[in-house]
Chains A and B, each alone.
Chain A
């Protein structure tokens, strides 16, 4: 069977695959990720009609992220560390100014990155944070612990009104509640680099550790596409709506959109901004970062497993995050447990059969714990948002309107409606 001609049980016409996803669903034979996983990409141009590039599987049915694990094992990490020392020596400042920027939330990964750079490599990092939509209590406490472990921090909190409008648009048009955060988080460090004239920026692990193309992992440098683009209202989309339309018809001003604008290429060139992945130089192990942050800063995991998964230690600071992974489950058939378990299999922390059991038990669970708060956040009452609310047939978000919206994002090649509700056609635990 080739990718273009899947058959259905009824031998009818091929089922539609939304978002440019591969029609035939496959699961990696080593981890549990499916070939439906979209690559991380620049969000500035994401619209309803965007086609996804997805994770590559080779002839043996192994995903690129698992192949990278093999490459990782062969890397001479001492040599890489020496490269990092050399890089730090080149950028280190001794006049009291910051010499590198580490963006992050104060989660385990940014804690680790900034802490080793400061205390092991003798750098003077400025940490910068793009605020979550709504902090969890434990996320906020971890953020404060991070700062108290010895870092200056700039916390950028976007205007809540604009952020709500953009988040609602992103849900309505793209079923992507996390998009406004991703946009801000991916460009803030580059923009702060320009603002403070600090050329060296460190992100944590490369997107390719999770399945972006393998070749992306050959370099320490992050591609510009993630944080810079044409800086004009016509050049970008937010929440699937063009900047021009947002300003014209959603009651937003150009000033409201400034925080979401990508860094200007000329400015980056002037400062000489270089965005590096620390994961290129230091072997990244998410569980190891958890231990490190716990031991050096008292980092606390969440007080319960995150809905849709078993884990308590990663991506726990934004209350909307539960919905982010719920929506990836709807759009791609990949929920939070799949992402978590795939990562832990690759890291050697769990085995594939455990991963399969975890996916079976938790993937796609509806995140009730913050649902009321998130629905209120996503609601745009006409009296408060007279212009923006007009673009939504149901400005007030409820469980019913959310469920109805969600159903329009289910791709026929992934989902079937049964008398017991919607069911995935292919799962890693049914052996397809």
Chain B
């Protein structure tokens, strides 16, 4: 069995690391590179970069950052935001990404999932889903939580997995930036629906939230953004808590 992973998620609006609340009110936090270096030094398991405005502005701005990161950060790197074609995916992979995450373009053209999966392997194809609660269901959103797709998250996750997505990056718009804990019902609903790994994202506030997402939610990984960027928690604290809860992680924490 694969070890559960702790992932640092960095939303990017070039040239800055940014962070919002409910994917809104995007605040600039500065050059992302020192942040990534810190997380790497703290033995983060993976990095996720999301170009937060690429879909919005229909432009990609993140390639330089991916190249720079790939030179000295040697953990898997997922890059998303504005991937509209197999060719876009190829460029990010060539720049040093290990996986690409696709949201808006996949909702508009689901066959893009098949294309990327066939072209580079399903392990490369991360389906990013921005989920917002709607009654007893969740709706998948586009354009960084700004645009309805009308698709149910559960159906969409199933379809995405069926088309060859190797992993789902599941972001709760309701919890993003709030530090109030993950939407466990959402995570559970998706992990029950698909057989592929699910990354819980949106809402991490304290180490115990990671325990809940992994143990109770059935997630394979936890993405943390705000709490790391604002230095409210360290990777070590999260992994220590996981260890105490009997959840082993892969990357050793440096002494």
**Contact at B26–A304, with CB atoms within 8 Å?**
no
What residues on A are CB-neighbors of B143 within 8 Å? 305
- Closest Cβ of chain B to A315, distance in Å, is 13
Contact status of A303 and B56, CB under 8 A, knowing A312-B22, A312-B24, A312-B146: no
Most buried by A among B25, B28, B58, B143: B25
The reply to whether B147 and A290 contact each other, CB–CB distance below 8 Å, is no
Which partner residue on chain B sits nearest A298 by CB separation?
A: B178
What are 16 residue pairs bridging A and B, where the CB atoms are less than 8 Å apart in the complex? Answer: A287-B25, A290-B21, A291-B21, A301-B21, A301-B24, A301-B25, A304-B147, A305-B147, A312-B22, A312-B24, A312-B146, A349-B26, A349-B27, A354-B57, A361-B56, A361-B58
B22 touches A301 (CB 8 A): yes
Residues of A with C-beta under 8 A to B148: 304
Which of A287, A300, A312 is within 8 Å of B27, CB to CB? A287
Q: Taking the complex as formed, is B53 at the interface, i.e. its CB lies under 8 A from any CB of chain A? A: yes
> Would you list which residues of chain A between 346 and 381 have a CB under 8 Å from chain B?
348-349, 354, 357-358, 361
Per-residue contact bits, chain B 21-39, to A (CB 8 Å; 1 contact, 0 not): 1101111100000000000
Report the minimum CB–CB distance from A287 to chain B (whole Å): 5
List the 7 closest pairs (A to B, CB-CB), nearest first.
Answer: A305-B146, A312-B24, A357-B57, A290-B25, A301-B24, A287-B25, A294-B21
Q: Does B132 contact A (CB under 8 A)?
A: yes
1-59 of chain B: CB within 8 A of chain A: 13, 21-22, 24-28, 53, 56-59
A290 to B24, CA, bound (A): 9
Interface residues of B (CB under 8 A from A): 13, 21-22, 24-28, 53, 56-59, 132, 141, 143, 145-148, 178
Residues of chain A in range 10-38 having any CB-CB distance to chain B below 8 Å = none
A415 touches B (CB below 8 Å)? no
Interface residues in A265-322 by Cβ distance below 8 A to B read 287, 290-291, 294, 300-301, 303-305, 310-313
In the complex, what distance in Å separates the CA atom of A300 from the CA atom of B25?
12
A287 to B20, CA, bound (A): 10
Distance of A348 Cα from B146 Cα, bound (Å): 21
- Name A303's closest neighbour in chain B (CB-CB): B132
Q: A305-B146, A313-B24, A348-B28 are known contacts; what are 10 more A-B pairs with Cβ within 8 Å?
A: A290-B24, A291-B27, A300-B22, A304-B141, A312-B22, A349-B26, A354-B53, A354-B57, A357-B56, A361-B57
In the complex, which residues of chain B have a beta carbon less than 8 angstroms from the beta carbon of A357?
56-57, 59
Least Cβ distance of A336 to chain B in Å? 14
Question: Which residues of B have CB within 8 Å of A290?
Answer: 21, 24-25
Query: Complex: how many Å from CA A358 to CA B56?
Result: 8
Give every chain A residue within 8 A of B26 (Cβ-Cβ). 349
Closest CB of chain B to A293's CB: distance in Å? 10
The chain A residue sitting closest to B16, CB to CB, is A351
CA distance A291 to B22 in the complex (A): 11
Closest to A312 in B: B24
A300 to B175, CA, bound (A): 11
Q: Are B28 and A311 in contact (CB under 8 A)?
A: no
Task: With CB as the reference atom, state the residue of chain A lying closest to B59.
Answer: A357
Residue pair A349, B28 in contact (C-beta under 8 Å)? yes
0/1 interface trace, chain A 116-150, chain B, CB 8 Å (1 if under): 00000000000000000000000000000000000
- Across the interface, B25 reaches (CB within 8 A) one of A303, A313, A361, namely A313
Q: Complex Cα distance A300/B28, Å?
A: 20
**Chain B CB within 10 A, most for which of A304, A354, A358, A361:** A304
Closest A residue, CB atoms, query B133: A303
What's the nearest-Cβ distance from chain A to residue B148, in Å? 6
Chain A residues lying within 8 Å of B53, measured Cβ to Cβ, are 354
Identify which of A311, A348, A358 contacts B24 (C-beta below 8 A). Answer: A311
- Nearest CB of chain A from residue B229's CB, rounded to whole Å: 14
State the Cβ distance, A354 to closest chain B Cβ, in Å.
7
In the assembled complex, the CB of A218 is this many whole angstroms from the nearest CB of chain B, namely 30
Chain A residues near B59 (CB, 8 Å)? 357
Please give the distance in Å from A308's CB to the nearest CB on chain B. 13
Q: Which residues of chain A are near B27, meaning CB under 8 Å?
A: 287, 291, 349
Give the nearest-CB partner of A314 in chain B: B25
**Chain B proximity of A428: nearest CB distance (Å):** 15
Which chain A residue shows the least CB distance to B23?
A: A312
A291 to B21 alpha-carbon distance, docked (Å): 8
State the CA gap A312–B174 with chains docked (Å).
Answer: 13
Minimum C-beta distance from B230 to chain A (A): 12
Are the C-beta atoms of B25 and A291 separated by less than 8 Å?
yes
